[in-house]
Amino acid sequence: MNAPSPAGDNLLASYSANGAHGSVLVINSGSSSVKYQLVNPVGGEAIASGQVERIGQSDGIVTHKFAGNKSKQVFDVPDHAAALRVIMELFETHGPDLAEADVVAVGHRVVQGGSYFSGPAVIDDDVLERIRSLIPLAPLHNPGHVAGIEVARDLLPDVPHVAIFDTAFFQTLPESAYTYAIDKEVAEKHAIRRYGFHGTSHQYVSGKVARVLGRRLEDLNQIVLHLGNGASVSAVKGGVAVETSMGLTPLEGLVMGTRSGDLDPAVVFHLARNANMSIDEIDDLLNKRSGVKGLSGESDFRALHELIEAGNEDARLALDVYIHRLKKYIGAYHAILGRVDVITFTAGVGENDEIVRRLTVRGLESLGIAIDESRNDERSHEPRIISPDWTSTLVMVVPTNEELAIARQCIAIVDELSSQAQAPAPAAAAAPAAETAEAVPAV
Ligand SMILES: Nc1ncnc2c1ncn2[C@@H]1O[C@H](COP(=O)(O)OP(=O)(O)O)[C@@H](O)[C@H]1O
Ligand SMILES: CC(=O)OP(=O)(O)O
Ligand SMILES: [Mg+2]
């Protein structure tokens, strides 16, 4: 199970103490992008990093940063497998040479672990098959993960590949939070429940908040707002996740860049029956053509603000709907937690968009929640408090670092594998995935 401590920190200490070295290559596949980092898990710095964006379009944008140099190129990247090959080529042409970087593990972000995985899993054929079997529960993400894992295992066959699941942190949700009120047998048969996503980020950020404040994680009630292209909110009590806004898939909850978030399920029946739309068309509509993009034509908040400044009413409404939903969740999670010590903004929008932060918090003063305008407007990449001194709830901005959190969890596994390899019984050398994965039966 997940301990209420920042991801991988204790095991990282034992890794450093053992004198082990090496870097971890982290692959973070999103729905239309792959971010990657070659990380030194001890110091925490990225040795090299980059991303492939606009996968599936003829003008995929590929950036790679290494040793102070940044390259930006346009490629035709038809799918995630092609993206992985491009990334490996970038390492070859722009460095560093992965053979010399002493890569000890490859960490793969996997969005949907279902009920199979409550912790990291060393990837073997069986684990890969389970990730594949979960594609229906994360149709935008798990296919890319499978493709990425296959290519990366092929290209780097001699190191352990480890899957780190977005869902793992939310295995602690109480039954009342993860159960949908539908026929019990149908739900059990089809594994229908709320799983929650972005867990690596919610866990990393809530742990980081405690460290930055010099407080015990166990003592803090927190709300974490992960606002990226995908967006979710969590309630974390003493380091343990008790609520989150995403559900069976990453479609539920907040309004997102291209996803609708919460919706009356009858919208789906209505479109199928009366608009002659197929299930696949509705899936595409709600996941890719809704949210802020559906309302305004733009999914990127920088472009959205430009439209608003130019007087575009659709963009204004899109932002209003987005903020309204966020406020609703903050109120709801306030009620769930009883007392809120810290609310933290993170991810692309949360870290960079002071307008979204200001509008989200506006009007919450009666709950003891407010921001200080000048602290909010300050541009910084450091974790910081943006609330005034008089409030009972701290409001913070804390940059997420899913790649570092993944690298640290990988190192924990490498440590475990190497101590098993040194143990006298040879049978212990190859860790069965199920043990490492703490696999639990599917619901
Ligand atoms: N300076 C900025 N101001 C406002 N929004 C920004 C800024 N930089 C990035 N964003 C937003 O962050 C989003 C990407 O966030 P990110 O966390 O990288 O998402 P994901 O991992 O889901 O792709 C962009 O789509 C954009 O809306
Ligand atoms: C789970 C999810 O929505 O991930 P992302 O934000 O990377 O698309
Ligand atoms: Mg993300």
Read off the tokens for 153: 């295992």
Residues with CB under 6 A from ligand 1: 30, 33, 228-230, 257, 299-302, 347-349, 352-353
Q: What is the pLDDT of residue 54?
A: 79
Q: What is the pLDDT of residue 429?
A: 39
User: Which position among 76, 79, 166, 389 bears the catalytic label?
Assistant: 166
Q: What is the pLDDT of residue 426?
A: 53
Same domain, 161 and 294: no
Q: What is the pLDDT of residue 31?
A: 75
Same domain, 350 and 225: yes
The structure's pTM equals 0.90
Query: Which of 190-199, 275-284, 296-305, 414-423 shows the lowest mean pLDDT across its residues?
Result: 414-423
Same domain, 407 and 386: no
Choice from 353, 355, 359, 400 to test ligand 1 binding pocket (greatest atom count within 8 A of CB)? 353
**Placement of tokens 């048969």 in the chain:** 189
Q: Structurally, how many domains does the chain consist of?
A: 2
With respect to residue 225, please indicate whether it lies within any of the assigned structural domains: yes
Same domain, 294 and 168: no
Query: Closest-lying ligand to the alpha carbon of 299?
Result: 1
3-state secondary structure 375-435: HHHCCCCCCEECCCCCCCCEEEECCCCHHHHHHHHHHHHHHHHHHHHHCCCHHHCCCCHHH
Q: Using pLDDT thresholds of 50, 70 and 90, give the confidence band for residue 14.
A: very low
What is the residue with the minimal CA distance to atom 6 of ligand 2?
230
What does pLDDT average to over the chain?
89
Specify the ligand 1 atom closest to the Cα of 231.
22
Query: Closest-lying ligand to the alpha carbon of 29?
Result: 2
Same domain, 362 and 300: yes
Same domain, 307 and 359: yes
Q: Using pLDDT thresholds of 50, 70 and 90, give the confidence band for residue 425.
A: low
Check which CATH number belongs to the domain holding 420 and give it. Answer: 3.30.420.40
- The whole-number average pLDDT for the span 415-423 is 79
- The whole-number average pLDDT for the span 162-184 is 97
**pLDDT exceeds cutoff 80 at 342:** yes
Tell me if 316 is assigned to a ligand binding site.
no
Q: How far is CA 320 from the centre of its chain?
A: 24
Q: What is the pLDDT of residue 20?
A: 52
The number of CA neighbours under 13 Å toward the Cβ of 243 is 21
What is the residue with the minimal CA distance to atom 2 of ligand 2?
230
Read off the tokens for 55: 């996968």
Instruction: Report CA(64)–ligand 3 centroid distance (Å).
Output: 18
Is 166 noted as a catalytic residue in this protein?
Answer: yes
Q: What is the pLDDT of residue 8?
A: 40
Q: What is the pLDDT of residue 26?
A: 97
Same domain, 148 and 258: no
For 392-412, what is each residue's pLDDT tens digit? 999 999 999 999 999 999 998
